């Protein structure tokens, strides 16, 4: 019993070692798979970039070669616009390749927490630019232009901006085979744009004094300001969208919009408490992009008022202002307020009171409306499930199973037949692809006589002559030994060995 117990304990110990080794192998394999996947993605990125660079260099070389040819031929140069009338001067895969450039650097930017890819304070990636915002391009061919964001591609980190021009692209590049060319809004990387916000600006005279309106208040006009950095925060305090009460710390599961289930976010100018409203938080009148026209109208009105003040410097309205008007003017001149594009202050905008999130691109699915129902004549039940019998005969299962087996066999036979045909085709191609030397060598090999051991027989006359010659020379031949003699000789040898051993 003790011996069996020791043996059993030894086996259990070996089993535990094997299981531990298997678990260790699985853990190391998972780590290796992750690193291998990352390495493979890096290799794919490098290969794609090299291919894109080769394509760009090929285009540059082709352009230089065409320009040199046009210069040498002079009036005889070819009209390439006729040869490539559908694609000449259009952007194709180059524009899609440029859209992927920023995506390749995305993991590194997220790792380093670079703005505007990742919000500060360790929050998840939250874009500070949304559809409907006004942005300014700071890099690229459209540098210095201001437009409105008409769409976003978050998977590629690109924006579609209207108001800065159009680009002609090939229709087939974007899936339109019958369209040779089409206009498309330029796609710009989010790194190459900055948010534009209308901030209040007091109109000043040449001597530096503020320009006053008829009521004696300083004239304030909107001025476009580029926001270098935006801070995005979650709705952690303020009005709770679920309870409707003001709370200092809103639970994490209630920091979303009840209608869309999307997190509620607020954005501020970095380093300040100036809140920037989202496009969906503005009214229709505030979305009009006529900032420049408003500024021109206010400046013209300010020049006219300055001329009237010079003609009539006495303005009794300045002495009749009440204390409430003075406090109101002081409040309106606060720099922490924002203006809409029309030049009006955004009234009572408090981001903590806004409990709406980004609107969904598509309407949520409603389960109350089912198109399969008969809304005219009412619902009719055409199937009643039962528990006493199956919904279909049992023979159907056998038929389906037999067909499935037959289909598997037929598929396997078709696969083998296709493989055999492919091998025959390759063999035929190999036989056809021969040089004259190979054909000559094969013909020579066919003409040669092949030696077969059983096919050669020595004539009897030759054997007699060989025997007579050996007898004449006195050559002694060993007698033929049969199986019986061999067995006796072996037994005699074994007997002698036993005697020597004793």
Contact (Cβ atoms closer than 8 angstroms) between residue 366 and residue 251: no
Q: What's the rounded mean pLDDT across residues 79-88?
A: 72
Question: Would the pLDDT of 72 be above 90?
Answer: yes
Question: Would the pLDDT of 112 be above 80?
Answer: no
> Which SS3 state, helix, strand or coil, does residue 222 take?
strand
State the pLDDT at residue 335.
Answer: 46
Residue 446 or 176, more confident: 446
Contact (Cβ atoms closer than 8 angstroms) between residue 73 and residue 129: no
Compute the distance between CA of residue 79 and CA of residue 96 in angstroms, rounded to an integer: 28
Q: What's the rounded mean pLDDT across residues 280-305?
A: 53
C-alpha dihedral sign at 252, 258, 262, 265: negative
Contact (Cβ atoms closer than 8 angstroms) between residue 156 and residue 102: yes
Question: Would the pLDDT of 386 be above 70?
Answer: no
Query: How is residue 220 written in tokens?
Result: 């304030």
Question: Would the pLDDT of 403 be above 60?
Answer: yes
What is the dotted CATH code of the domain comprising 83-192? 2.30.30
State the pLDDT at residue 340.
Answer: 53
Residue 54 or 306, more confident: 54
Question: Would the pLDDT of 27 be above 80?
Answer: yes
DSSP state of 482: -
User: What is the rounded average pLDDT for all residues in the chain?
Assistant: 73
Question: Would the pLDDT of 176 be above 80?
Answer: no
Nearest CA among 133, 229, 231 for reference residue 188: 133
* Phi, psi values for residue 66, rounded to 5°: -65, -40
Compute the distance between CA of residue 416 and CA of residue 434 in angstroms, rounded to an integer: 28
Beta strands at 181-184 and 265-269: parallel, antiparallel or unpaired: unpaired
Residue 313 banded pLDDT, cuts 50, 70, 90: very low
Contact (Cβ atoms closer than 8 angstroms) between residue 340 and residue 198: yes
Tally of CB atoms within 10 A around 142 = 20
Compute the distance between CA of residue 279 and CA of residue 196 in angstroms, rounded to an integer: 12
Q: What's the rounded mean pLDDT across residues 58-85?
A: 85
State the pLDDT at residue 232.
Answer: 85
Compute the distance between CA of residue 365 and CA of residue 447 in angstroms, rounded to an integer: 83
Residue 409 banded pLDDT, cuts 50, 70, 90: confident
Q: What's the rounded mean pLDDT across residues 234-250?
A: 81
State the pLDDT at residue 134.
Answer: 92
The residue length of the chain stands at 502
Compute the distance between CA of residue 305 and CA of residue 315 in angstroms, rounded to an integer: 12
Residue 120 banded pLDDT, cuts 50, 70, 90: very low
For the purposes of burial, counting CB atoms within 10 Å of the CB of 197, is it exposed (0-12), middle (13-18) or buried (19 or more)?
A: buried
Beta strands at 158-162 and 167-170: parallel, antiparallel or unpaired: unpaired
* DSSP of 200-221: EEE-B-TTSPBPB-TTSPBPEE
State the pLDDT at residue 438.
Answer: 87
Spans of all domains in the chain: 2-73, 83-192, 196-353
Q: What's the rounded mean pLDDT across residues 175-196?
A: 82
Please tell me the least confidently modeled range out of 142-156, 173-187, 217-231, 432-446: 173-187
State the pLDDT at residue 308.
Answer: 45
- What percent of the chain shows pLDDT beyond 90? 8
Of the segments 114-123, 141-150, 483-492, which one has the largest average pLDDT value? Answer: 141-150
State the pLDDT at residue 301.
Answer: 54
Q: What's the rounded mean pLDDT across residues 33-62?
A: 78
Compute the distance between CA of residue 187 and CA of residue 101 in angstroms, rounded to an integer: 12
State the pLDDT at residue 324.
Answer: 44
Question: Would the pLDDT of 128 be above 90?
Answer: no
Question: Would the pLDDT of 117 be above 60?
Answer: no
324-383 tens-digit pLDDT: 444 444 444 444 455 554 555 454 566 666 666 666 655 544 545 445 544 454 555 666
Buried/exposed code over 155-173 (b: 16+ C-beta within 10 A; e: otherwise): ebbbbbbeebeeeebbbbb
Residue 89 or 370, more confident: 89
For the purposes of burial, counting CB atoms within 10 Å of the CB of 308, is it exposed (0-12), middle (13-18) or buried (19 or more)?
A: exposed
Of the segments 200-214, 269-283, 413-427, which one has the largest average pLDDT value? Answer: 413-427
For the purposes of burial, counting CB atoms within 10 Å of the CB of 372, is it exposed (0-12), middle (13-18) or buried (19 or more)?
A: exposed
């Amino acid at each position: 019993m003790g011996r069996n117990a020791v043996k059993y304990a030894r086996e259990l110990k070996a089993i535990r070692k094997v299981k531990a080794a298997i678990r260790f192998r699985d853990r190391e394999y998972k780590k290796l798979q992750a690193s291998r996947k990352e390495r493979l993605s890096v290799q794919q990125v490098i290969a794609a970039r090299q291919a894109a660079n080769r394509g760009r260099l090929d285009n540059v070389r082709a352009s230089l070669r065409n320009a040199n040819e046009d210069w040498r031929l002079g009036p005889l140069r070819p009209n390439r616009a006729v040869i490539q009338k559908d694609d000449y001067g259009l952007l194709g895969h180059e524009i899609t390749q440029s859209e992927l450039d920023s995506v390749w650097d995305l993991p590194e930017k997220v790792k380093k927490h670079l703005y505007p890819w990742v919000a500060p304070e360790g929050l998840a990636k939250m874009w500070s630019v949304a559809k409907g915002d006004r942005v300014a391009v700071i890099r690229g061919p459209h540098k210095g232009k201001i437009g409105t964001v008409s769409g976003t591609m978050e998977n590629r980190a690109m924006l579609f901006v209207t108001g800065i021009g159009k680009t002609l692209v090939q229709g087939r590049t974007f899936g339109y085979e019958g369209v040779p060319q089409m206009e498309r809004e330029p796609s710009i990387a989010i790194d190459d744009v900055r948010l534009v916000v209308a901030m209040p600006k007091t109109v000043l005279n040449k001597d530096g004094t503020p320009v006053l309106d008829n009521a004696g208040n300083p004239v304030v006009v909107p001025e476009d300001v580029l926001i270098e950095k935006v801070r995005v925060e979650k709705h952690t305090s303020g009005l709770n969208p679920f309870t409707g009460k003001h709370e200092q710390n809103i639970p994490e599961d209630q920091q979303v919009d009840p209608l869309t289930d999307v997190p509620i976010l607020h954005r501020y100018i970095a380093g300040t408490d100036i809140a920037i409203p989202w496009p969906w938080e503005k009214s229709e009148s505030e979305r009009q992009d006529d900032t420049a026209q408003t500024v021109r109208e206010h400046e013209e009105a300010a020049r006219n008022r300055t001329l009237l003040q010079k003609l009539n410097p006495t303005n009794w309205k300045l002495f009749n202002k009440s204390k409430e008007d003075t406090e109101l003017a002081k409040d309106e001149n606060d720099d922490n307020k924002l203006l809409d594009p029309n030049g009006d202050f955004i009234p009572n905008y408090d981001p903590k009171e806004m409990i709406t999130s980004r609107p969904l691109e598509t309407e949520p699915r409603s389960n109350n409306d089912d198109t399969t129902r008969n809304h005219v004549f009412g619902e009719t039940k055409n199937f009643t499930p039962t528990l006493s019998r199956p919904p279909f005969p049992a023979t159907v299962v056998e038929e389906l199973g037999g067909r499935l087996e037959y289909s598997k066999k037929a598929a396997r036979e078709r696969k083998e037949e296709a493989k055999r045909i492919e091998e025959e085709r390759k063999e035929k191609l190999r036989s056809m692809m021969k040089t004259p030397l190979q054909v000559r060598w094969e013909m020579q090999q066919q003409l040669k006589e092949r030696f077969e051991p059983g096919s050669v027989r020595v004539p009897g006359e030759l054997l007699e002559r060989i025997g007579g010659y050996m007898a004449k020379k006195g050559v002694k031949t060993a007698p033929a030994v049969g199986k019986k003699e061999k067995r006796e000789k072996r037994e005699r040898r074994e007997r002698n060995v036993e005697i020597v051993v004793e």
